[in-house]
Amino acid sequence: MNIGILCYPTYGGSGVVATELGKSLATKGHTVHFITYAMPLRLEKFQDNIFFHEVEVPHYPLFDFQSYDIALAGKIVDVARFARLDVVHAHYAIPHSISAYLANNAVHNVSKRFKVVTTLHGTDITLVGVERNLKPLVRLSIEQSHAVTAVSEYLRNQTYENLSINTPIDVIPNFIDPTIYSKVPCEKVKRIFGTDCKNVLIHVSNFRPVKRVLDTIHILNKVRETLDTQLILVGDGPDRTNAERLTRELGLEENVLFLGKQSALPELLSSARVFLLPSGEESFGLSALEAMSCEIPVVGSNIGGISEVVTHGRNGFLAPMGDIDAMAQYVLRLLQDEALYNTFSQNARQDSIERFHIDSVVTMYEDLYNRVVEQQ
């Protein structure tokens, strides 16, 4: 099958999922065309059956604001025509799904039409989707797609609730490649980061306010009242400066390591004992799944789709959003009870493989593509 993939190429779970999906589809013999404004980060190596088409936004003096959405639609038409796309898979409703819809209506004069599959990832519904002026466009993009998926039950329900639509939505969860996300021996990690792999917490995100990165520092502060503990923060974004300031105010400079954006995630995750995800909004929590696959239990908030990934009392602990004391207590239970820790750690690996293995999830997408392609 010839498949076009539209995604955000920068850091962020939706781009990661889209890229790993494309790579896996290409391995299975499909031809995959990534259409976006920059090379997706996880597309670092050459791979057979994968093509990248860069969207360039033309600059005309008359236009004060150049439209990426239109440029993307034009590029999709071009690729659809020459690569004879069967399916265009849009990750994130705005602008990808809208641009695919527009392109599909433009393409019929020059080529065969393709089928549009839209995958909803989270804030495209929970933030952008409730924005008054954008809501009708998000709704249109969903209603006009040939198939729509959401990464969790929670997100499917939110979509129905926020948009008042009755379009069928399949839940296809995010996935993990357990051969890539697996625990790296502590000895190796120790050399890289100088930790002893004990009493180290880790958080990985884009440091947007919804991630509540400051909570991770407050949790560390509370845990340290009982146990000498360190925190590794991976990623960057709007709350990085606030997080650094809070660290200094609390006198934790020696105990918090700000690493910025990093790609060696399995090594980094393996250098820690507990993953923190205290988010205020999270449709799935791909970063938690990546940690679980590396045998790292999760302590986080019981909001959104997190509980569909982390099972409270089995592979992690979930507490009400913002409940620093409860999360700190859960961290301490894990750090202080070796037997409990080992059980949670094994459960985390086992559950991530059984429920979110890349092979089974990619097959779900292939089945969906076959279904839409056969539709009249």
For ligand GMT, the binding residues (CB under 6 A) are 8, 12-15, 17, 121-123, 151, 174, 210, 281-286
Q: Name the nearest CA neighbour of 327 among 145, 203, 196.
A: 203
Residue 266: CB minimum distance to ligand GMT, A: 17
> Dmax of the chain from CA atoms?
69
The residue (of 8 and 34) whose beta carbon lies closer to ligand GMT is 8
Q: Cβ-closest residue to ligand GMT?
A: 122
Q: Which segments of 181-237 are extended strands (E)?
A: 200-204, 230-234
The residue (of 149 and 247) whose beta carbon lies closer to ligand GMT is 149
| 371 backbone dihedrals φ, ψ, rounded to 5° | -60, -45
72 vs 349: CA distance, rounded Å: 39
Rg (CA), the chain: 21
8 vs 228: CA distance, rounded Å: 39
Which two three-digit tokens encode residue 224? 């340290």
The residue (of 77 and 151) whose beta carbon lies closer to ligand GMT is 151
The residue (of 150 and 324) whose beta carbon lies closer to ligand GMT is 150
154 vs 164: CA distance, rounded Å: 15
The residue (of 39 and 192) whose beta carbon lies closer to ligand GMT is 39
Residue 151: CB minimum distance to ligand GMT, A: 4
Residue 250: CB minimum distance to ligand GMT, A: 26
Residue 103: CB minimum distance to ligand GMT, A: 21
- What residues have CB less than 8 Å from 199, skipping those under 6 apart? 227, 228, 229, 230, 273, 335
The residue (of 34 and 193) whose beta carbon lies closer to ligand GMT is 34
Residue 197: CB minimum distance to ligand GMT, A: 26
Residue 337: CB minimum distance to ligand GMT, A: 29
Which two three-digit tokens encode residue 178? 């357990």
Residue 128: CB minimum distance to ligand GMT, A: 8
What phi-psi label fits residue 14: left (phi over 0), alpha (psi between -120 and 50 degrees) or beta? alpha
358 vs 176: CA distance, rounded Å: 5
Residue 123: CB minimum distance to ligand GMT, A: 3
The residue (of 356 and 369) whose beta carbon lies closer to ligand GMT is 356
Residue 285: CB minimum distance to ligand GMT, A: 5
The residue (of 40 and 122) whose beta carbon lies closer to ligand GMT is 122
- What residues have CB less than 8 Å from 111, skipping those under 6 apart? 77, 80, 81, 84
Which two three-digit tokens encode residue 69? 């959405």
The residue (of 150 and 256) whose beta carbon lies closer to ligand GMT is 150
Please classify residue 5 by burial: count the beta carbons closer than 10 Å to its beta carbon, then call 0-12 exposed, 13-18 middle and 19+ buried: buried
